A and B are shown apart, each in its own frame.
Chain A
Amino acid sequence: MAIRLHTVSHTYTAINQPAVHALKDVTLTIDATDEFIALVGETGSGKSTLVQHLNALMAPTSGTAELFDVTISAESFKDKSIKKTPIRKRIGLVFQFPEYQLFEESVLKDVAFAPKNFGLSQADAEEKAKHALSLVGLDDTYYARSPFHLSGGEKKRVSIAGILAMEPDILVLDEPTSGLDPQSQKMLMDVFESIQRTTHISIVFITHDMNWVEAYAKRVLVMQSGELVFDGAPDALFNHPELSVWKMDLPDRKKVLNYLQSQFKLQTPMDDFTQLLNAINGEGDQ
């Protein structure tokens, strides 16, 4: 087990503000290899807070987060002898807003920063950075540009490349597809999948788009008001009676096929359009 959250709660406190219980007793394990997990849940349900506990950016208010061989708790987080940097290299997190992550003067430097920081030579770090940039669809014309003077989707790509270049053991992505054009969304999900398949690392991604959950995730976690309310297979989620209570919906394919099926008063659920056509024409509908 690479990651083990045990009854993790997180409460945000600020002067003159009521406490916000963003995570409530979340218990969860994530394997070191071969996981492909979608994390979903309504706005403000605690997804971004949760993933910041997966790489020691945040400490639980109560409970513990075991991250490989380090245990993070409210107390141990303050212990200077427990180094967080190695954890953050092994468990790479891409933020929801790329602006929080970008800081260097050029795109290439920004992406090469982490590999360099973790001990690679300048040349090797740049090699890794160039490869990562090509994976996210940015060519050499971007290398010298400022990461701040880019379009929204281009910034997002740079922030993703920055973590890919680190080659983490576990990749955690907070809404990696938001802000990308549809073909790039698919291209990047394919990149993540291919990395997962060839290197067997585990991947966790947050999304509001059920199409990606259906197409890529092997396991899905649902958050609601700070609680983990579902942990299971995507299919089980889409058939779950509480789906709409959790403010989630179905993938497009299912929505459209369900609508057509009801229009034709067909009994059995359809998996694809061809099957639906056959059923309407009286073929293969037992």
Chain B
Amino acid sequence: MPLIELQDVSFSYGKTPAIDQLSLTVEAGEWVTIVGPNGSGKSTLAKLLIGLLKTQQGTIQVAGETLDETTVQGIREKIGIIFQNPDNQFVGVTVKDDIAFGLENLSVPYEEMLKRIDHYSKAVGMDAYLDKEPSQLSGGQKQRVAIAGTLAMKPELIIFDEATSMLDPTGRQAMLEIMHALKASGKTILSITHDLKEALPADRVLVMHEGRLLKSGTPRDILRDEPLLKKARLTLLEPFKYMNQLAKKKQLTDEWEALLWQSAFTL
């Protein structure tokens, strides 16, 4: 049974559909990266999954349960989301309260709560900021706190909606390591991003376009497909430019392909 299954889902805010008859499945434990142009429906999809928006057509199932008014509460406890704008996330007066708030809602015992606040604030490098107000943080610091708050709830599925867009190179790397650890512990990851480097370690890449799925495939399939990337307003990463350059000259040996693939992981 897939963890998530969308069947023929549509949603529109106004006249044009933001999500247009979308069907897809995500298996438990899968790491899926979602890419696509601005306005292609990525955040809308995320909001539909957590029941913040209601499908106008079709059904969404999470762990076999159909998402509706009666199930939304239970399903939300399985899903953690880091919103595109971290300001939309904060409820606490301080960073510490903010992380605690989500845990209180889950009735996590006090001792355990303190432990998790400590652990996750350290994991994102924000343990020195626990007494700050979220509004007093820099852009990247806000993103890190939002990530800590969500991870502390230990959800089954974590949706990252451009959660690393304002991190410095080191912070972005650290976040990828956290995602690897999540994957290793069996969590399911849905990561929305404009940075194709973040698609490299994924099991699968979904390319969205005008509310539909343009393509679903492995990173190897997607990242080299120049016409596809072009249509989705993406650009080839450096190593795949070289791969295609060699392929055009019929010089792309298995060795070159392996080497260039390897080189992509230095990005």
Contact = CB atoms under 8 A, between A and B. Distances in A.
Interface residues of A, number: 44
A267 interface: no
Interface stretch (A56-64, A123-131, A173-181, A231-239): A173-181
A259 B263 contact: yes
B196 to A, nearest CB: 7
Contacts of A48: 138-139
B166 A178 contact: yes
Given A252-B237, A273-B245, A43 B144 contact: yes
B206 to A, nearest CB: 15
B141 A178 contact: no
A248 B162 CA distance: 20
Given A183-B234, A252-B237, A43 B138 contact: yes
B259 A151 contact: no
A97 B139 contact: yes
Given A151-B39, A182-B196, A44 B267 contact: no
Given A43-B141, A175-B166, A259-B263, A181 B194 contact: yes
Interface of B: 13, 36-39, 43, 84-85, 87, 131-133, 136-141, 144, 162, 165-172, 194, 196, 230, 232-235, 237-239, 241-242, 245, 259, 262-264, 266-267
A186 B194 CA distance: 13
B136 A182 contact: no
Contact of A253 (B137, B171, B238, B262): B238
Contacts of B38: 151-154, 157, 179-181, 184
Contacts of A183: 37, 230, 233-235
A42 interface: yes
A190 interface: no
Nearest to A152: B84
A154 B259 contact: no
A32 interface: no
Nearest to B138: A44
A118 interface: no
A179 B140 contact: no
Contact of B85 (A97, A180, A182): A97
7 contacts: A43-B139, A44-B137, A153-B37, A182-B234, A210-B169, A252-B238, A273-B245
A17 interface: yes
B169 A249 contact: yes
Contacts of A179: 38, 84, 162, 165, 194
Contact of B239 (A178, A186, A256): A256
Contacts of B85: 97, 99, 152
A252 B169 CA distance: 12
A256 B242 contact: yes
Q: Which 10 residue pairs of A and B lie closest in terms of their CB atoms, listed nearest first?
A: A153-B38, A43-B140, A183-B233, A249-B169, A181-B233, A247-B170, A42-B168, A252-B238, A182-B235, A152-B84
Interface in A134-183: 149-154, 157, 175, 178-183
Contacts of B37: 153, 181, 183-184
Interface in A6-28: 12, 14, 17, 20
Given A184-B38, A256-B266, A96 B233 contact: no
Interface in A200-253: 208, 210, 247-249, 252-253
B123 to A, nearest CB: 15
B220 to A, nearest CB: 17
Contacts of B43: 151-152
Contacts of B264: 256
Given A96-B166, A157-B38, 4 more contacts: A14-B136, A43-B141, A152-B38, A256-B263
A178 B140 contact: no
